[in-house]
Copies of this chain bind each other. A is one copy, B any other.
């Protein structure tokens, strides 16, 4: 009998393993369906439902099916048991039930009011995964990929505007949503639609910060497919990438904002502490991310005499690249910083330095690997969002709150885009036209980050209501705005079918011609960028990559022994080697292209011709800031011929 029981238990355990397989299989099935649908849509050039929208829809349907098809709720799981002997909560609990000891693992704290809603469908419960999986496993590849695939030329061209939208815009959005929601909540309490919970102003701000993370992946995919105007694409892409980082740190700072006494009153000390937290966390995460990337660059660059270079083993190289980038995320999280911010800047830095050191094989491997991981993770998240409507047990649907949130989100988006665009246009040469502003307003979709931030904390009733609302706003914006992108583009008469390189060239040419008289003032306003560019070009690039001038020529003479040690032998030989024109441009080209236009004022059209004749890469990282300005860098000692020729 004992024996028999044992076999039953083995079978039971087998069943347990198969359960894990069934849940993964359901996700696989959803993803396969999504891929087949995308294929179908791509064939019919059907752009009203993007893959993420499709994934969400399938997730929703699957949730519905599981909810009504699989077995009825587990009766036991709604009951709360008492254990008088327990005084604190252990991380693992051993319980004796009918003379068998079972091990239970601590999952979370449940508020009393949630206990009743807790008896759920066993299958759905098993499909609910830990929010930490979102943060530690699914989000990092998406964010890293955004940083790694950033087209730096276009990005830096619009850096000023992007930073303004991302930092100032997100802060505005957060505060506007917070204020509107606070008004709404007060009003709802007043008319009796909402009980007097502890729905404080900080909670409203928390909601504001998490709803400020935009995720226009749907819109960007369509932009990419249709080759929409590059400036618009870059503004939107850059804003959404940085804005996620800002929103996450903002949410973090608000959640640790703890006014001493009355949580509704304004506490200056606590507020400044929060601002300090924000800055500290942001800077710390940035430092963490970039230092991991610099370590990767150094390792991949190592050329000790006894050693074969790492790039001769592409598998090891790719592995190290992947692991160090992920470690940037994990270290930041472990240090109490924000991993997403770290991994974003890690991606940007990896693309800037490490990418140049990789073997051609690894360049492609890493690109494809992260592209693939991004694709899968994105679709898993959107499938899961669809499912979450059913898997999450404590939804609180409050139509008024949801309506208020929708209003708040749009008002906030408007008060982010329009005023800031107006201000930016005062300073920009290349104005942001009205139709671009409308398109940016329209592209304020909410997605993975808002969802992930909302699901991270669903303990209290306000937080649950926020989660439900956030989820529905994600559905609404992805389906309605995502689907409406193509008609909107037509309606706003935004150019499509633009070749990014040609576009940039034409714009740069017309700008450099019209800006000739303003060179000095422009250059001065961007002095910080110039200093950085010079430092990067003269010291960091040679130190971390095989490009740029040798350190022996850029460092002062008394440093020459160190410089010789640190300079890559290949740096002497092929300084003009330009392995990746998308990412790096040499200083020489830059000077060559800009010198003539600076000295001889020629009409715009001619100028374009001369630039095209000189070389393809005429816009470069050095062209930072708000418009086109001249970047004149001192030539490095080892290239006297070049100087003479110019």
Contacts and interface: CB of A to CB of B under 8 A. Distances in A.
Contacts of A83: 81-83, 95-97
Counting chain B CB atoms within 10 Å of each CB, the highest count among A36, A43, A97 belongs to A97
Interface in A72-89: 74, 76-83, 85-89
A20 interface: yes
A64 interface: no
A633 interface: no
B104 A21 contact: no
Nearest to A112: B101
Contacts of A457: 10, 13
Number of copies: 2
A367 to B, nearest CB: 11
Given A86-B81, A319-B376, A371-B315, A4 B258 contact: yes
A634 interface: no
A115 B102 CA distance: 10
A581 interface: no
Given A28-B327, A86-B81, A330-B25, A255 B10 contact: yes
A10 B131 CA distance: 14
Interface in A365-417: 365, 368-369, 371-372, 375-376
A119 B365 CA distance: 45
B74 A94 contact: no
Interface size class, chain A: 35 or more
A227 interface: no
Interface stretch (A333-341, A469-477, A589-597): A333-341
Nearest to A314: B368
B21 A136 contact: yes
A135 interface: yes
Contacts of A104: 93, 104-107
A80 B94 contact: yes
Interface string A1-35: 01110110111011011101110110011011001
A97 B88 contact: yes
Contact of A306 (B43, B107, B255): B43
A154 to B, nearest CB: 22
Nearest to A33: B323
Contacts of A36: 299, 320
A90 interface: yes
Nearest to A324: B32
Nearest to A308: B43
A479 to B, nearest CB: 22
A375 B339 CA distance: 25
A98 interface: yes
Given A81-B83, A109-B9, A320-B32, A18 B102 contact: no
Contacts of A299: 36
22 contacts: A6-B460, A18-B333, A21-B330, A28-B327, A35-B319, A43-B307, A74-B92, A77-B91, A81-B85, A81-B86, A82-B83, A88-B97, A93-B95, A102-B108, A104-B106, A315-B372, A315-B375, A319-B376, A322-B372, A368-B368, A369-B369, A369-B372
4 smallest CB-CB distances across A and B, nearest first, come from A76-B90, A21-B333, A104-B104, A25-B330
